[in-house]
């Protein structure tokens, strides 16, 4: 049955669940798959993002969006009107072939990226046909019954059918940083958004507890969708994107000035106006690296595919460049530096001896809680091998990041009691007594100093140490306010040893110019012990309490020198990232927890893992399929390779191409004819573009990925001036040989210079692609083949029927000898200049 989205203006929060089911034509056991598919077709995907999928036809048409290309197409039409059909058709074919080249590469890149993103889709649990199944969030429809638990992203606006100790983060709507408690029920129709305690909203996420929700609105029909224009700001530009933009502005300014001057001068010299106009436009095409967007897309998608083979999935392509530029990586220790397999070392009483009672109480707390499951609770459950009694939970107060403890009220052994487990200091806050032996209870104050000393000693030995406390209660539900006057029972010590390869991997990252900073909620003693185990012997530690006492300016300075941030609160992670960024660093943050989303958003590169909670995975730019620093190290190197290959195209565009077009512009001022016809210039541009498309698969020197790199416009300007001038010098040498020595007429001049300019621009790529001597750094297979094909085509073209179409003539053998000599001298000079350039002008 076809249904429209439920109208949220009907104040569904003021209705009971049966009324909502009736309005939605849904039921408690969920929709059928067929019904859900029909509703998805009617309502569309459950997303507020604009679809990034572009049809093949539109992608092809987008290849013609360049203003220069549009002007050329208009010039083609003008040529046809004036009767110059042959040249018009040739120019159109060249433009069409260039567009096909860009379309083919971009289409393949887009398909590759789409396949990669499917690997890290966010999914949710829904009831369909009374069976729980996992589906992508985008496929949720109004009427679906969704099951939520800690860490889940809420997939749509919905009414709570059932809830248990449910807390949601609704900061995106209310600005309130503390979790909001949610309960099933009915709320007044006039209730404001923040007062709708029986409702969950798309764009929020679950902090703790569980719930069953009937989805009322999806996509743009949600509250989040309605205010998305205000909430969803544009994704900040990466450093590389800013560099590309500034580079584009620089070339546009140069091109505009040069083209206007050339056109004006040629008209003043009484050369044909249409030819002069087409010549100026063709020059502009040659000067503009119009393939740069395609080259960047191809490089990034190629980099993303290579990184995927190394278990690194890129969600946002532009983040690859930042990944390669990253010089600081902030990470938690669990699972990345440590093995991620937490084990219980011991359960101790306050006398420091083994305590079965402490272990038993800790097991009850860990095994019976229904909130967010974590490695600590799993380790406690796995280590308890005694007979497991039947126990019934009456109340649960889930763990949260403010209290840092978890409480259950349970009926066991004929009595009702509350058992609390959590961070030692937070457990001590709610205790007034301590158990020194069987049925021996003393005031906590009498043993507190000894307990603190014992805790510090355990922490200094590297153990994660939790406190366990209990309190006898009546049958009334236990609340947060009742967490007081408890009895401290003892300690649970856990350990998570560092990975065998962690020390070497951290050293490899350091050598690659990436310093690791550990951010952890563990106490400073545990963190420092771990640091010593992985070779950070003189680690500087800053604690969360110290951060609170520092001014912003002081913290920015201190954050640079610190190696470990311990005992940090969730909101302090974001502060650490921002402080490091303000100091000029490119910062990566690796997180997988519920409270890591703000820091992941703040980082230049947000990194998560495939096993992370939904909210962390959604916030990340990059998702690791293995939670391993070695995988991360491989990904960083791939990011640098992508950056290096992109820069090769930039260097090429600012050397031979720029030099050739500049020389052509100058030659047109003193030659009685155009140095190259417009169609010949466009053919030159097409042929030099062909091998450049293979740059994405080119090999990269070890030296180019040894350290982080950033876009440097000043460096590129220097490169353009030095190598553009060298190219122009040899161009004018070619002009001199052709005119004064070989006495070439118009067609022979144009053919000879076409041959020299295409071959020199193609071969110079082999020089500028590496800082090493070109014979010591061989190009990739595809670049080599493409280069050889272009050179062979140019050499034989004057002897083919294409020569007449393009206005070329057969060249005598002596022309080939001279052109070969000039190209050889050009390559040698460029190689020597490169050695001088990187020694003298390379920024340090």
Contacts 24+ apart (CB under 8 A), 251-259: 251/287, 251/288, 251/289, 252/288, 254/287, 255/284, 255/287, 255/288, 258/283, 258/287, 258/662, 258/665, 259/283, 259/284, 259/287
Query: Half-sphere exposure (CA, 13 Å, Cβ side) for 397?
Result: 20
How many beta carbons lie within 10 A of that of residue 686, not counting itself? 18
Residue 132 tokens, joined: 């729980």
Residue 325 tokens, joined: 């530029």
Nearest by Cα to 607 from 329, 203, 309, 241: 329
Q: Which residues neighbour 710 within 8 Å (Cβ) at sequence distance 6 or greater?
A: 239, 243, 325, 586
- Alpha helices, DSSP H, located in 430-484: 448-460
- What values do phi and psi take at 769, rounded to 5? -75, -10
Residue-by-residue DSSP string for 312-342: EEESSTTHHHHHHH--EEEE-STTTTB-S--
Residue 553 tokens, joined: 């300016």
Eight-state DSSP code of residue 190: T
Answer yes or no: 332 catalytic.
Answer: yes
Strand partners, 491: 348, 467
Whether residue 456 contacts residue 352, with contact meaning beta carbons closer than 8 Å, is answered with: no
Residue-by-residue DSSP string for 568-623: --HHHHHHHHHHHHHTT--EEEE--SGGGHHHHHHSSEEEEETTS-HHHHHH-SEE
The gap between the terminal CA atoms of the chain, to the nearest Å, is 68
Alpha-carbon gap, residue 188 to 136, rounded angstroms: 33
> Cα Rg for the chain, rounded, in angstroms?
34
Nearest by Cα to 164 from 13, 371, 15: 371
Alpha-carbon gap, residue 488 to 87, rounded angstroms: 92
Burial class of residue 805, CB neighbours in 10 A (0-12, 13-18, 19+): middle
Strand partners, 212: 147, 162
Residue-by-residue DSSP string for 681-742: HHHHHHHHHHHHTTGGG----GGGGSS-----HHHHHHHHHHHHHHHHHHHHHHHHIIIIIS
> Which is the catalytic residue, given 332, 377, 522, 596?
332
Residue 494 tokens, joined: 């856990």
Token pair 């544009």 is at which residue?
A: 234
Parallel/antiparallel/unpaired status of strands 157-169 and 199-200: antiparallel
Nearest by Cα to 106 from 325, 246, 290: 290
Alpha-carbon gap, residue 18 to 186, rounded angstroms: 12
Token pair 């009672």 is at which residue?
A: 357
Whether residue 147 contacts residue 126, with contact meaning beta carbons closer than 8 Å, is answered with: yes
> How far, rounded to the nearest angstrom, does the alpha carbon of residue 282 sit from its chain's CA centroid?
38
Alpha-carbon gap, residue 837 to 844, rounded angstroms: 13
Q: Which residues are catalytic?
A: 332
């Amino acid at each position: 049955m076809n249904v429209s989205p439920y109208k949220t203006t009907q104040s569904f929060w003021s209705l009971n669940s049966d009324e909502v089911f009736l309005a939605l034509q849904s039921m408690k056991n969920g929709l059928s798959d067929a019904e859900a598919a029909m509703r998805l077709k009617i309502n569309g995907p459950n997303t507020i993002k604009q679809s990034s999928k572009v049809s093949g036809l539109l992608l092809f048409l987008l290849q013609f969006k360049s203003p220069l290309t549009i002007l050329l197409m208009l010039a083609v039409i003008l040529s046809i009107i004036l009767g110059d059909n042959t040249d018009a058709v040739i120019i159109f074919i060249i433009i069409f072939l260039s567009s096909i080249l860009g379309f083919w590469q971009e289409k393949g890149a887009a398909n590759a990226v789409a396949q990669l993103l499917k690997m890290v889709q966010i999914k949710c649990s829904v009831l369909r046909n009374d069976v729980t199944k996992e589906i992508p969030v985008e496929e949720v429809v109004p009427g679906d019954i969704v099951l939520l638990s800690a860490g889940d992203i809420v997939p749509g606006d919905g009414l709570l059918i059932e809830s248990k100790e449910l807390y949601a983060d609704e900061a995106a709507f209310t600005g309130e940083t503390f979790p909001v408690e949610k309960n099933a029920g009915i709320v007044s129709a006039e209730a404001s958004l923040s007062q709708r305690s029986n409702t969950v909203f798309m764009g929020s996420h679950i902090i703790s507890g569980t719930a069953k929700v009937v989805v009322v609105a999806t996509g743009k029909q949600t509250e989040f969708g309605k205010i998305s224009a205000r909430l969803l700001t544009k994704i900040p530009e990466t450093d590389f994107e800013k560099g590309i933009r500034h580079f584009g502005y620089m070339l546009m300014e140069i091109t505009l000035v040069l083209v206007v001057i050339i056109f004006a001068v040629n008209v003043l010299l009484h050369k044909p106006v249409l030819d002069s106009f087409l010549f100026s436009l063709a020059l502009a095409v040659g000067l503009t690296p119009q393939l740069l967007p395609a080259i960047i897309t191809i490089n990034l998608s190629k980099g993303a595919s290579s990184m995927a083979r190394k278990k690194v999935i890129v969600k946002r392509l532009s983040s690859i460049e930042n990944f390669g530029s990253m010089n600081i990586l902030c990470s938690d220790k669990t699972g990345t530096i440590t093995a991620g397999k937490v084990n219980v070392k011991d359960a101790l009483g306050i006398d420091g001896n083994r305590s079965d009672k402490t272990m038993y109480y800790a097991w009850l707390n860990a095994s019976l809680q229904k909130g967010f499951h974590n490695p600590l609770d799993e380790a406690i459950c796995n280590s308890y091998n005694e007979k497991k009694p039947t126990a019934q939970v009456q109340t649960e107060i889930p763990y949260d990041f403010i209290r840092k403890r978890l409480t259950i009220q349970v009926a066991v052994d004929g009595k009702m009691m509350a058992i609390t487990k959590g961070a030692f200091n937070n457990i001590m806050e709610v205790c007034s007594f301590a158990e020194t032996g069987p049925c021996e209870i003393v005031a906590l104050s009498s043993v507190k100093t000894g307990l603190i000393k014992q805790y510090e000693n355990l922490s200094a030995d590297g153990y994660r140490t939790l406190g366990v406390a209990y309190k006898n209660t009546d049958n009334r539900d236990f609340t947060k306010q009742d967490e007081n006057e408890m009895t401290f029972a003892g300690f649970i010590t856990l350990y998570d040893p560092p990975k065998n390869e962690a020390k070497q991997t951290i050293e490899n990252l350091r050598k690659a110019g990436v310093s690791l900073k550990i951010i952890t909620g563990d106490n400073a003693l545990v963190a420092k012990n771990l640091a010593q185990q992985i070779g950070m012997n003189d680690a500087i530690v800053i604690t969360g309490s110290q951060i609170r006492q520092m001014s912003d300016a002081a913290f920015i300075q201190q954050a640079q020198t610190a190696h470990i941030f311990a005992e940090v609160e969730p909101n302090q992670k974001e502060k650490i990232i921002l402080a490091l960024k303000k100091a000029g660093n490119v910062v990566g943050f690796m997180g997988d927890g519920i409270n890591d989303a703000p820091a992941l958003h703040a980082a230049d590169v947000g990194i998560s893992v495939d096993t992370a909670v939904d909210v962390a995975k959604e916030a990340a730019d990059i998702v690791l399929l293995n939670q391993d620093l070695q995988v991360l190290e491989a990904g960083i190197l791939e990011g640098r390779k992508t950056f290096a290959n992109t820069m090769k195209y930039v260097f090429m565009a600012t050397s031979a191409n720029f030099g050739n077009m500049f020389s052509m512009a100058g030659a047109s001022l003193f030659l009685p004819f155009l140095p190259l016809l417009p169609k010949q210039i466009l053919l030159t541009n097409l042929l030099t573009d062909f091998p450049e498309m293979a740059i994405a698969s080119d090999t990269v020197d070890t030296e180019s990925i040894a350290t982080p790199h950033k876009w440097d416009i000043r460096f590129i300007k220097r490169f353009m001036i030095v190598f553009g001038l060298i190219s122009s010098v040899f161009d004018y040498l070619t002009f001199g040989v052709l005119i004064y020595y070989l006495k070439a007429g118009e067609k022979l001049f144009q053919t000879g210079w076409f041959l020299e300019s295409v071959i020199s621009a193609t071969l110079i790529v082999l020089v500028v692609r590496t800082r090493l001597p070109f014979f010591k750094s061989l190009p990739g297979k595809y670049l080599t083949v493409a280069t050889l094909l272009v050179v062979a085509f140019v050499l034989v073209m004057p002897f083919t029927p294409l020569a007449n179409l393009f206005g070329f003539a057969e060249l005598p053998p002596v022309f080939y000898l001279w052109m070969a000599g000039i190209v050889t001298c050009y390559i040698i000079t460029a190689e020597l200049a490169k050695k001088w350039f990187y020694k003298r002008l390379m920024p340090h």
